[in-house]
Amino acid sequence: MTGTTHARSLLLATDLSPRCDRATDRAIALAGAWRVRAVAATVVEWVERTERNVPRHDLPGWYTEPSDAQLARHRLAREFEGASHPWDISVGEGVAGEQVSGLLDVLDAPLVVTGPVRGGAMAPVVLGSTIDRLLRRPGTRLLMVNERVHRPYRRLLLASDFSPACMIALQQARLLFPEAKLTVLHGYSVPMLGLLDTSRDQALANARAAQREEGRAFLREAGLDDVELLVEHGDPARLAQQYVDSVGADLVVLGTHGRGAIHELLVGSVARRFLTTVHADMLVVHG
């Protein structure tokens, strides 16, 4: 397939830690399949240098102390030795979010590939400005890779609330991975369900029927009537993980409204559970 079918460029954003190794492998596989411009980027933060500095006495005559940027460039370039597709190497210095965002200004419709969200209660805070800055950009498509690369993405799961942002995410997922089977999963709740007794089952059935009709209208509007629709009562993140565990999905897709990613995506309780608890690769699309 040609690159115009997918993204027109690909940006791997890596901190050169083992956390990003799987993202690097996935980016190499995608660039090789799509044959688009591929850029690998890392940023040397402005912090004090570590104790790796060599003592100033008894230095070998051949030794020249490299800068942090030189070391990063060497390490990053080594990742792509033998790759079937050429890669541009970019090493910036300063604030990671600003550097990566600057690269996106000059790339044509890129897919950004990076490592997973760090685990733990502070994960949204640890992500800091880089993810927030990227997801504030209209049209951002951010692929966070958790799993080892075994094959191309074959089964995609879109967690949807039937919003315009989710429709854009659905269309982008189909554009990027047109050969993959696509399922839309909607988790719904019924207000004050715990207060109902004999009418509880009927309330659930009525809500499910209404949500299914809304879902069908959502797919018709998206022009994707062939997509599988699942409507279930329960927490969307829990349902997504159950689907990944029992049915299998290579990639979970989310849409964000972009009114400030820290508020809309990272602080939002539902989205936080997706990013920190669903064990699958994650594609987040700014709608």
Q: Give 84-102 as a DSSP string.
A: SS--EEEEEES-HHHHHHH
pLDDT score, position 129: 58
Strands 141-144, 181-188: pairing is unpaired
Biggest alpha carbon–alpha carbon distance for the chain: 87
pLDDT score, position 193: 56
Question: CA torsion sign, 110 to 114 to 120 to 122?
Answer: negative
Cα-based angle 110, 161, 119 (whole degrees, multiple of 5): 65
Residue 245 phi, psi dihedral angles, 5° rounding: -70, -40
pLDDT score, position 98: 82
Find the radius of gyration of the CA atoms of the chain: 22
Closest CA to 146 of 241, 258, 246: 241
Q: Which residue has the tokens 């559970």?
A: 273
pLDDT score, position 265: 45
Q: Hey, what domains does the chain have and what are their CATH numbers?
A: 1-115 (3.40.50.620), 150-287 (3.40.50.620)
> How many Å apart are CA 45 and CA 81, to the nearest integer?
25
Name 22's bridge partners: none
State the number of CA atoms in the 13 A half-sphere of 261 facing the CB.
24
Q: Structure tokens of 189?
A: 């709740």
Cβ 110 vs Cβ 8: under 8 Å: yes
pLDDT score, position 270: 59
Block means of pLDDT (10 residues each) for the chain, 287 residues, are: 67 92 96 95 72 64 84 94 93 85 89 78 44 77 94 95 91 94 91 61 84 94 92 90 94 77 46 75 88
pLDDT score, position 3: 41
3-state secondary structure of 37: strand
What residue type is 230 in one-letter code?
Answer: L
